Amino acid sequence: MTATARRGRRALSWLRGATIGVVMLFFALPMVWMFAAAFKTNVQVTDPGVGLWFSPTLENFRSILHDGQVITSMGNSLLVGVVSTALSALLAVPAAWAVGRFRMHRTGSLILVARIVPAISLLVPWYYLFARLGLVGSYTVLVLSQMFVSVPLIMWIMISFFAGLPIELEEAARTDGLSAFGAFWRITLPLAAPGTATACLLAFVFSWNNFMFALVFADDRTQTVPVTLFNFISYASTDWGGLMAAATLITVPVVVAAILGQKYLVAGLTSGASKG
């Protein structure tokens, strides 16, 4: 390799780094502003002159932790998010495999209808049914309603992954004596691990952020985070600092959990392959 080529490559990689940096700045700056606001009083939040150099206050966090509702809600959100995502994956991943492998694209598109229907048209009928079943206010109803969002989501993402995987691998496994299901479980699923992890992560994110279902179906003990955040918006005033502190408090641990979860999920799914 010539020196010019090497220099060109180095310049290219530098350019790549710089571009990533600039784009990331666009995504990060608003969040920096949010984190900063979490340490400000309300007067400082609405004063653009304050910027990023100010004497931080922990008052916002103190009042949140004192109240305790945010922590309870995080627990609820976590429970609903994890359970609904796990159950959804259990239903959706095999289904997506069937659609992708057997090219049932019409069925695949049909599942998307569930995602298209706006939530407002679901609320009253669901409430009617769940109220008759005595489920309103329970975790069950929150998980079930969230699964209605997550199942189509995971399925939709996974269909393209399974469709993209070469069929030959499964066929080879079949000739090696594995059952059709065994081929799916031991060969295909591990190969689709990155997709499964991403799909589950996104399903969790949608659950974490779902406001409408939680507002209508939860009660004071099962309340989730998006509803709790509104505690900071009261009739005659908005507690900007408290709201931003709460938003920070709920974002950071989840980012960490999501990253670890994703890592282990990928590792877990991939290890199935080596064992097989």
Partner 1 sequence: MPSTRTTVERRHTGTAAATGRGPAQPARSVEATGRRLKWAMLAPALLFVALMIVFPLAFTINLSLTDAFGAVNAGHPYVGLRNFADLLSDSRRFWPAVQRTVVFTIGAVVLETVLGLALAMLLRHPFRGMRWIRTMLLIPLLTTPVAIGILWLLILDPTNGIANHLLSEAGLPRMEFLGSVGQSLPTLMLIDVWQWTPMMTLLLLAGLTTLPTEPEEAALVDGAGPWQRFRHVILPMLAPALSAALVLRAVDALKTFDILYATKGPGGGSDFEAETLNVYAYGLTFDYQEYGLAAALVALFTLVIVATVVLLRRGAGKKDA
Partner 2 sequence: MTSTPVPLMNRRSVGRMALGAAAGGLLSACGSPQGPPSADTPLRIMAINHVWSQAIRRRMPEFEDRIGRRVSMSLLTADQLTSSYNVKLNASGTDVDVMMIRALQDQMLFARNRWLTDLTGRVRGDRTFDWQDFQKAPRTTSVTQGRIVSVPVVTERPVLYYRKDLAESVGGPPRTLESLMEASLRLTDRGGKRYGYVGRGQRNGAVSQWSSFLFSYGGDFSAAGRSAIATPKAVAAYRYYGDLLHKAGPPGATNMSLEQALPIFAQGKAAFFIDADAVYTSILDPKVSVVRDTVGFAPFPAGPAGARPYNIPSWSLAINKFSRLQDDAWAFIRWAAGPRMSAELQAAGIPGARSSAWRDSRTQGAFPSDLADAMRVNAERGIGHDRPQVLQVGRARDIVGRPLVAGILGEAVEPVARDADAEFSDFLVRDNRHQES
The footprint of partner 2 (CB under 8 A) covers 41-43, 46-47, 123-125, 127-129, 131-134, 136-137, 212, 215-216, 219-221, 223, 227, 230-231, 233-238, 241
Cβ neighbours for 185, distance < 8 A, ≥ 6 positions apart: 272, 276
Q: In the complex with partner 1, which residue's Cβ is closer, 208 or 217? A: 208
Phi, psi of 70, rounded to the nearest 5 degrees: -60, -40
Which of partner 2, partner 1, none does residue 164 bind (CB under 5 to 8 Å by kind)?
A: partner 1
Burial of 153 (0-12, 13-18, 19+ CB in 10 A): buried
CB of 256 to partner 2, least distance (A): 30
Q: How many CB atoms lie within 10 A of CB 245?
A: 28
Helix, coil or strand: residue 39: coil
Residue 178 touches which of partner 2, partner 1, none (CB < 5 to 8 A by kind)? none
Strand partners, 233: 238
Q: What minimum distance in Å lies between the beta carbon of 56 and partner 2?
A: 14
| Min CB(182)–partner 2 separation in Å | 36
> Rounded to the nearest whole angstrom, what is the least distance from the CB of residue 274 to partner 2 in the complex?
45
Q: Which CB atom, from 37 or from 197, has the smaller least distance to partner 2?
A: 37
| Environment class of 173 (CB within 10 Å of its CB; exposed 0-12, middle 13-18, buried 19+) | buried
Least distance (Å) from partner 2 to the CB of residue 15? 39
Q: 153 is in the binding site of which of partner 1, partner 2, none (Cβ under 5 to 8 A by kind)? A: partner 1
Q: Out of partner 2, partner 1, none, which partner does residue 216 contact, by CB within 5 to 8 A per kind?
A: partner 2
Alpha-carbon distance of 76 to 143, in angstroms, equals 11
Can you tell me the distance from the alpha carbon of 272 to that of 188, in angstroms, rounded to the nearest whole number?
A: 10
Judged by beta carbon distances under 5 to 8 A according to partner kind, the member of partner 2, partner 1, none in contact with residue 276 is: none
Q: Are 155 and 121 in contact (CB under 8 A)?
A: no
